Amino acid sequence: MEFQRHRGFSITIKLTTWLLLIATVSITPSHAVPRRGPYDEKPRYGNPITEIKYASPSCRAHVSSLTEFGGVGDGTTLNTDAFRSAVEHLSQYSSTGGGMLYVPAGKWLTGPFNLTSCFTLFLDKDATILATQDVNQWPLIDPLPSYGRGRDKPGGRYSSLIGGANLTDVVITGDNGTIDGQGASWWQKFHKNQLKYTRGYLIELLYSDRILISNLTLVNSPAWNIHPVYSSNIVVSSITILAPVHSPNTDGINPDSCSQVRIEDCYVVSGDDCVAIKSGWDQYGISYGMPSQHIVIRRLTCISPTSAVIALGSEMSGGIQDVRAEDITAINSESGVRIKTAPGRGAYVKDVYVRGMNLNTMKWAFWMTGNYKSHPDDKYDPNAMPEVTSISYSNVVATQVTTAARLEGIPNDAFTGICISNVTVGMAKSKKYAWTCTDVEGVSSDVSPQPCEPLQGKHEGSCPFPTESLPIDTVEFQQCSYTLP
């Protein structure tokens, strides 16, 4: 079941989605911006049969509907047992063609459930998976070994709504069906400090290989939306993610200690970073030692007034290397690309290449932070210094920007090898100092307004961007179809 070659496509953003900028309550699926991948044609709906088309490393030989396992899509009946039974039934086919679970039109309330290998979860265009708001229905699981504790609280954490571990060839897709985390109650409990454990995510897959997540709308996650961790060969394509812009920690897509990742053609409105690349927290991440590397991000559109379009860190203690981002659009977001780290993190962020960003109404175009304060506990090593080097930005146009850049390295541990070229930053108001820089070193070319002195070393031409493709960049999936009676 080898991946095959494919080309991406461009997306169009509907003007009406800008209304999401003023969202202060949970977003309903009716606000979703449809996304369609290059390998997923719109299914044709007949009566009484339904033909569905989906992408997969291999076409599934066995297909079942959730209703066959007692599922009731009325929005009130709890379907956790139906989902779990369906996945268990289809798992028997992992070595004989794989299985697909079809979620038909309806509102399917459920608690967390896990997927299996050689498996596709397909959501009808009118299907919504609703996460139960009953905290007692969310099992507790151990913290990630590279974090040593939950991200919100010490100790364990709640399961993610859709999870799985040690999987191969897993697909979560649909005809722009919806997964609704119903996160408002979680956000309220978080703000009131009423939770004893860390909130669950919408999708989390661990120790897995060959993952495709595509053509879905994710709304109102309790916290992070998509979290592959300790995994490889991951494609996230044509995903719409929506959350109120002040909802806590509703990151969009967070690859964590992952390699060979492709994120493309996604639209994210978030209360936190739209994409955040991570690899473990302080001494726990250093000990686990699994980097995030070989990651491609392209054609991403982001709205995040309080956070970054693309963040690297702050949990980066396993290392982050070889990240390539291009064709990025941001509107009303805090910063374009932000590197977050601190003494105690150790490891490195290096070989980061960004080109082709269009940024509109930003606080900072570029932001690097060497004094990020959070730590898992008081056992971290303050002498474990991170290395930040070989960071390239080119072909950037930004308008209505408060400050062009805020670049703060670490005293006696400067961020080096920064290259900035062909960048025009339009300031919202004239400022005497458009750039603020400490403990950084680099070069620049054709940058306006003039960068700070530590970046005024001359550079000829564009900053580097790799010319060779990554293996994940040349893969696609088979186009499969099935007719449901």
Tell me the CB-side half-sphere exposure of residue 294, using CA atoms within 13 A. 16
Tell me the CB-side half-sphere exposure of residue 167, using CA atoms within 13 A. 27
> Which residues are part of the catalytic machinery?
272
Go through 428-445 and write b for each residue having 16 or more CB atoms within 10 A of its CB, e for each that does not. Answer: eeeeeebbebbbbebbbb
136 Cβ contact partners less than 8 Å away, ≥ 6 residues apart = none
Angle ∠(446,338,450) on CA atoms, nearest 5:
25
Closest to 339 (Cα-Cα) out of 375, 376, 371, 362: 371
353 Cβ contact partners less than 8 Å away, ≥ 6 residues apart = 323, 324, 325, 392, 463, 464, 465, 466
CA distance 44 to 23: 33
- Long-range CB contacts (within 8 A, 24+) of 154-160: 154/377, 155/196, 155/197, 156/197, 156/198, 157/197, 157/198, 157/199, 157/200, 158/112, 158/197, 158/198, 158/199, 158/200, 158/222, 159/112, 159/200, 160/112, 160/200, 160/201, 160/202, 160/203, 160/204, 160/227
Closest to 416 (Cα-Cα) out of 453, 367, 455, 464: 455
